[in-house]
Amino acid sequence: MIQAIMPSQKMIEMFTLKLESDQPIETIAQKVSGECENHKFALLQTYVYHDIVEKKGFPINRKVFIYEICQAKTAALMLTSNPEFSIFMPCKIAMYEDAGKMVISTMNMEIMLNAVKSNPELYKEATTIFKTLKYLMTSLSKV
């Protein structure tokens, strides 16, 4: 139903949060681990996606890094209360080159957070983690 009334580009904009940076992608990639630590996220996995797809025979003309990060307390609350949300976990940050800019993006969790408002503790923790994730992304985007 949403697709019938909303253009696909608007849907993408609604479900993503993006920041741009003038820094080279490699410079930002080197800061991810430290910024995760500074914002109390565990860096679980790093994917150098442009290398992964190239090794499979599908090279792309941009660099793409994907990071899976987590805060265990919030993850435990979410999985206890709403295990169906496990498909959205862990939190991901993507960085990619686009038209000469470096983009740092993640899923816009605001829509999903409304689904857990009935659990005040979880809602507070999840809202806080999303704010912290935005601060982390802002830190990465700065020189």
Predicted structure pTM score? 0.88
Q: Number of structural domains, the chain?
A: 1
Does 4 fall in a domain? no
Q: Is residue 7 part of a domain?
A: no
Of residues 15 and 50, more confidently modeled: 50
18-28 confidence digits (pLDDT tens): 999 999 999 99
Residue 46 predicted with pLDDT over 90: yes
pLDDT confidence of residue 10: 80
Asked whether residue 5 is assigned to any structural domain, the reply reads no
Residue 6 lies in a domain: no
Helices (H) and strands (E) in the chain, counts: 7, 5
The residue segments making up the domain with residue 24 are: 17-141
Mean pLDDT of the chain: 90
* pLDDT above 60 (res 2): no
Domain presence at residue 12:
no
Give all strands of the β-sheet with 16-21 in edge-to-edge order. Answer: 16-21, 101-107, 91-98, 64-70, 42-48
Q: Would 36 be classed as within a structural domain? A: yes
Note the pLDDT of residue 122. 86
> Which single residue is written with the structure tokens 């009935």?
118
| 3 in any annotated domain | no
Question: For residue 138, is pLDDT > 80?
Answer: yes
Here the CATH number for the domain that contains residue 30 is 3.30.310.70
